[in-house]
């Protein structure tokens, strides 16, 4: 059972997390063209050990961000459910 204070706290935390998610999406959108340009340029140069290492680092970063966003989306859905349920009880 959630009290109004619990629901308010959850809502505030949810809003903060949403701000972080929005910032990540904004940053991803801003860097999208640069990533595409990098892909074009990368394909124009010979594959070296350094470029393969950079690709690996970028790939791991992409995976980590994707997992974070997926977890945040699941948390968002859960919190929305909890808040709706808490408001229905009030």
Segments making up each domain of the chain, as ranges: 4-85
pTM to 2 decimal places: 0.47
**What is the sign, positive or negative, of the torsion defined by CA atoms of 83, 84, 89, 90?**
positive
**Residue 49 vs residues 24, 37, 39, 44, 58: alpha-carbon distances, Å:** 30, 20, 16, 15, 14
Q: What is the pLDDT of residues 12-31, one digit of tens each?
A: 888 888 888 888 888 888 88
**Residue 54 vs residues 5, 34, 36, 51, 72: alpha-carbon distances, Å:** 47, 15, 15, 5, 27
Q: What is the pLDDT of residues 22-65, one digit of tens each?
A: 888 888 888 888 888 988 887 887 777 888 888 899 999 999 99
Best CA proximity match to 24, nearest among 79, 80, 81, 70? 70
């Amino acid at each position: 059972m959630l009290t109004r204070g619990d629901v308010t706290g959850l809502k505030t935390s949810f809003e903060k997390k949403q701000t972080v998610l929005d910032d990540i999406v904004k940053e991803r959108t801003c860097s999208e063209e640069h990533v595409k340009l990098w892909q074009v340029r990368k394909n124009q140069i010979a594959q070296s050990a350094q470029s393969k290492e950079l690709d690996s680092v970028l790939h791991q970063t992409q995976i980590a961000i994707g997992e974070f966003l997926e977890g945040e989306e699941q948390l968002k859905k859960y919190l929305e459910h909890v808040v709706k349920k808490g408001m229905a009880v009030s």
